[in-house]
Amino acid sequence: MNDFVGKIGIITGGTKGIGKFITKHLIARGAKVYVLARDAEAGKKTEQELGANCIFRTVDVTNGAQVQATIDSIIETEKRVDFLVNNAGVTQDNLLLRMTDEQWDFVFSTNLKGAFYCTKAVARAMMKQRAGAILNITSIVGITGNAGQANYASAKAGLIGFTKSIAREFSSRNIRVNAIAPGFFETQLTVGLPPELKERYLKEIPLGRFGTLDEIAEVACFLLSERASYITGQILNVDGGMLMR
C-alpha cells in the first residue's frame, strides 16, 4: 500500500467519479497528486476531503497554453512528475443528424485534445528523468460504439490510438503508456437508470453487476505502479466481462 511514497502525479478531472476515486487511492498509497479541473468550487472541496497531498489547480484542458503553464509550474515546484492520468471527459449526446458542430468539437476538445495537451506538457520532464507512467481513461464505447454518442465514441476510440502511438514513441525513455476502458460502474448515472434499462445492461455483464469505483481505482493504481513495469501500450477493459472474446 506504499507504492507511491514520494511520487508526484497529475490527474485531470479528478474532482468527481472515477477521477476522484483514483486520486483518493493514489494519495492513500503515498502520492502527492495535483488535480486539474474546471470547477474551482468542486476542486477546493476535493482538497479539503482528500487532505494535504491533494492540490487543486483550476485548468481548462481544452486550453493548451493554460495546460502548459500549469504543468510547467508544477514541475518547477516539484522538480519532477512521475505519473499523469488523463481522465477529464464530457458527453454531449445526440443523434448524428441532430448533432451540432459545437457538440462534436467540445467533446473532442475535452476528451482527446485535452489528453494531447497534458501528455505533451509532461513529456519533456519524463524523458529527462527517463521514467514515468501515463494512464488514459477511455471507454468500452470507444470499442463498441453507441447510438447517440458518435462524438464521444469517436473521441474515446481516438484515445486508444493515441495511447498505442505514444507508448511506442516513449518506450525508449522508460515511459509507460496504458489505458483503461471502463464498462458500467456504480455512479449517480447508473443509480438513476430505469429498472428495465438497468436490467438489460446487467444481462450483458457476465459478472452480473456494475463495478465499483474502488475497483477501477485499484486497476489504475496497478498500471501506474512499478508492479506494472513491463506493461505498456495496453488497453485494459474493466467491464465485468462485457467485451469478453
Rounded CA-CA distance 92/26 in Å is: 30
Would strands 83-86 and 132-137 be described as parallel, antiparallel, or unpaired? Answer: parallel
Q: Each residue of 45-67: pLDDT tens digit?
A: 999 999 999 999 999 999 999 99
Measured distance CA(73)–CA(57) in Å, rounded: 11
DSSP state of 222: H
Residue 76 pLDDT more than 70? yes
Q: Is the pLDDT of residue 106 over 90?
A: yes
Mean pLDDT of 133-157: 96
One-letter amino acid of 157: A
Side chain identity at 73, as an amino acid letter? S
Residue at 49: amino acid letter? E
Long-range CB pairs of 128-131 (<8 Å, 24+ gap) are 129/80, 130/173, 130/174, 131/82, 131/174, 131/175
User: Which segments within 20-129 are labelled E, that is strand?
Assistant: 32-37, 54-58, 83-86
The model's pTM: 0.96
Q: Which residues contact 167 (CB under 8 A, 6 or more apart)?
A: 176, 177, 178, 232, 233
* pLDDT mean over 5-14: 97
* CB contact at 8 A, 140 and 242: yes
CA–CA dist 89, 73 (Å, integer)? 23
- Name the residue among 184, 147, 181, 182 with its Cα closest to residue 163: 181
Band of residue 114 on the pLDDT scale cut at 50, 70, 90: very high
Q: What is the mean pLDDT of residues 2-25?
A: 96
The tens digit of pLDDT for each residue in 221-234 reads 999 999 999 999 99
Catalytic residue among 117, 152, 201, 230: 152
Over residues 137-152, mean pLDDT: 95
**Dihedral of alpha carbons 48, 49, 50, 54, sign:** negative
CATH architecture of 8-238: 3-Layer(aba) Sandwich (3.40)
pLDDT, tens only, 157-209: 999 999 999 999 999 999 999 999 999 998 766 776 788 888 888 999 999 99
CB of 108 within 8 A of CB of 62?
A: no
Task: Tell me the three cell numbers of residue 158.
Answer: 481516438
- Domain residues of the chain, as ranges? 8-238
Residue entry with cell 462534436:
104
Examine the residue annotation and report whether 117 is marked as an active-site residue of this protein: no
